Amino acid sequence: MNPVTSALKRLLAMIIKEARQIRRDPLTMGMMFVIPIMQLVLFGYAINADPKGLPTAVLSYDNSPLSRAIIRAIGTTGYFSEAGPVNSESAANALMQAGEVQFLITIPDGFFRHVVRKEKAQIAVEADATDPSTVAPAIAAINAAIAQTLNAELQGPLAASRAQAAPVNVILQRRYNPEGLTRFNIVPGLLGIILTMTMVMMTALAVTREYERGTMENLLAMPVKPLEVMVGKIMPYVLIGAVQVAVVLVASRIFFNVPFLGQAWVFGLATLLFITVNLAIGFTFSTVARNQLQAVQMSFFFMLPSILLSGFAFPFRGMPGWAQIIGAALPATHFIRISRGVMLKGASFTQLAPEILLLAVTLVIVGTIAVSRYRVTLD
Partner 1 sequence: MSAIIDVKGLVKRYGPRTVVDHVDLAIEQGRICGFLGPNGSGKTTTLRMICGLLTPDGGSGTVLGQDLIKGRDVIKRQTGYMTQRFGLYDDLTIAENLEFVARLYELPDIAKVVDAAIQRLGLGDRRNQLAGSLSGGWKQRMALAACVLHQPRLLLLDEPTAGVDPKARRTFWDEIHALAAQGITVLVSTHYMDEAERCHEIAYIAYGKLMARGTAAEIVARSGLHALVATGDNADKLAPGLSGQPGITAAAAFGATLHLCSPDEAALKRAVATVSNKAIRWTETEPTLEDVFIHLMGQAQDNMAAA
CB-based contact 265:350 (threshold 8 Å): no
Residue number with CB closer to partner 1 (206 or 366): 206
377 lines the binding site for partner 1 (CB under 8 A): yes
- Dist CA 328 CA 299 (whole Å): 18
Q: How far is the CB of 212 from partner 1 (least distance, A)?
A: 11
Sign of torsion over alpha carbons 273, 369, 27, 215:
positive
- Note whether 372 binds partner 1 by CB under 8 A: no
Tell me which long-range contacts 355-363 makes (C-beta under 8 A, separation of at least 24).
355/270, 356/266, 356/269, 356/270, 356/273, 358/334, 359/270, 359/273, 359/274, 359/277, 359/331, 359/334, 359/335, 360/273, 362/277, 362/331, 362/334, 363/273, 363/276, 363/277, 363/280
* Contact status: 224 vs partner 1 (CB under 8 A): yes
29 binds partner 1 (CB under 8 A): no
CA distances (Å), origin 84, targets 58, 87, 195, 279? 9, 10, 35, 38
Please identify, among the stretches 15-23, 107-115, 121-129, 219-227, the one whose residues bind partner 1 according to the rule CB under 8 A. 219-227
Q: What is the 3-state secondary structure (H, E, C) of 157-222?
A: HHHHHHHCCCCEEEEEEEECCCCCCHHHHHHHHHHHHHHHHHHHHHHHHHHHHHHHCCHHHHHHCC
Nearer to partner 1, 155 or 377 (CB): 377
Q: Which is nearer to partner 1, 165 or 222 (CB)?
A: 222
Residue selected from 39, 218, 368, 372 as contacting partner 1 according to rule CB under 8 A:
218
Asked if 379 interacts with partner 1 (CB under 8 A), we say yes
Closer Cβ to partner 1, 179 or 379, answer by number: 379
Q: Which residue, 162 or 373, has its beta carbon nearer to partner 1?
A: 373
Residues 197-216 that bind partner 1 (CB under 8 A): 213-215
Output the smallest distance, CB 226 to partner 1, in A: 13
Helix axes 264-288, 226-256, angle to 10 degrees: 130
278 by DSSP, 3-state: which? helix
Closest distance of CB 229 from partner 1, Å: 10
Answer yes or no whether residue 290 interacts with partner 1 by CB under 8 A: no
Q: Residue 244 CB, nearest distance to partner 1 (Å)?
A: 22
- Cβ closest to partner 1, residue 119 vs residue 217: 217
Q: Is 4 in the site for partner 1 (CB under 8 A)?
A: no
Q: Report the residue number, 109 or 228, with the smaller CB distance to partner 1.
A: 228
Least separation in angstroms between residue 222's CB and partner 1 is 5
Nearest distance from residue 284's CB to partner 1, in Å? 22
From 248, 122, 151, select the one nearest 194 (Cα to Cα): 248
Which chain residues interact with partner 1 by CB under 8 A?
213-215, 217-224, 377-379
